[in-house]
Structure 1
Amino acid sequence: MPRTAPAKTPESEKITINLGFVDLGQIELLVQEGFYSNRSDFIRTAIRNQIERHAETVRQIVVRKSVDLGLRHITRDELATAQAAGQMLEIRALGLVVIAPDITPELARATISGLSILGTLQAPDAVKAALADRIT
């Protein structure tokens, strides 16, 4: 029987931004002159520079708010364990939160009291709907 490769979590998410004509023209000039390979390269570099500039502030906030940083996987076993212990989870994350596809809306609602995500949530649509009033 052939093995199925696990689903790969995307490493990035597409966003759309609006720029003024002058800003866009300056970016195009820098790309034409070879400073950046394309617009996206310029924008990613600018964002990374700003994140680095504020790295210490972000670190302090993450510690103060007890936020998971990076990738947070929520598994069926984790929620089943919480349910058996009569616990509700308050999940705070900066990055990507992935709720496993085998988690039912009922289990999610019975065990997740809140989801505060600065980033992206990947979860089955039914689970997102079940938790809609708990996601901030």
Structure 2
Amino acid sequence: MPNITRLPERQAEPEKITINLGHIDLGRIDLLVREGFYANRTDFIRTAIRNLLTSEGGSVSQSIDRHQLELGLFDITRADLEALAKAGEKLHLKVVGLARISADVSPELAEATIGSLNVLGSIQAPKAVKAALKDRIT
């Protein structure tokens, strides 16, 4: 079975997102930045998100338990998948965080051994592997 490890804060490369804000909200953020409360807009937004996730932590934990999700970093290596193939098993992964499929995993091996990937967060995998699994990734 692949190795599941808890993902410490800021260990993996951050994922870039884009948001749209109204002019007034943006102006209020800029005012707080100018007054020195935050280093920049990004600092404000990251802090706001972390604070909200902390306050909603109990709900997140309950949802993770209810849906039987793994929280953290999930590395899927070629050796892991070859072991599954040898055992005649398929991987069904449900993770909150990051699922990484090694660069040396072929699309054929992935198709033969990965039954489903349900990832809330990010998936990092070779393009050909993602394409081969497109109907199994949710």
How many angstroms apart in 1 are the aligned matches of 2:85 and 2:63? 29
- Equivalenced residues, count: 128
- Listed as ranges, the gaps of 5+ residues in structure 2 are 1-10
**Offset at 1:11?**
2.6
CA distance in 1, matches of 2:56, 2:45: 17
- Cα deviation, residue 116, structure 1: 0.6
CA deviation profile, 1:73-123 (whole Å, cap 9, x unmatched): 001111111111111111111111110001010110111111111111110
Query: Hey, what's the Cα distance between the residues in 1 that align with 2:109 and 2:81?
Result: 7
- Correspondence for 1:83: 85
- Identical aligned pairs, as a percentage? 55
Structure 2 distance, partners of 1:76, 1:61, is 31
Match of 2:57 among 47, 55, 58: 55
What one-letter code is carried by the residue in structure 1 that aligns with 2:49?
I
Instruction: Look up the match of 2:71.
Output: 69
Residue 7 of structure 2 aligns with which residue? none
Q: Looking at both structures, which has the greater relative contact order when contacts are Cα pairs under 8 Å and sequence separation is at least 6?
A: 2
Partner of 2:40: 38
TM-score w.r.t. the length of structure 1 is: 0.90
CA RMSD of the aligned region, Å? 1.1
Identify unmatched segments of 5+ residues in structure 1.
1-8
Counterparts of 2:91 and 2:117 in 1: how far apart (Å)?
9
For residue 125 of structure 2, what is the aligned residue in structure 1?
A: 123
SS of 1:119's partner is strand
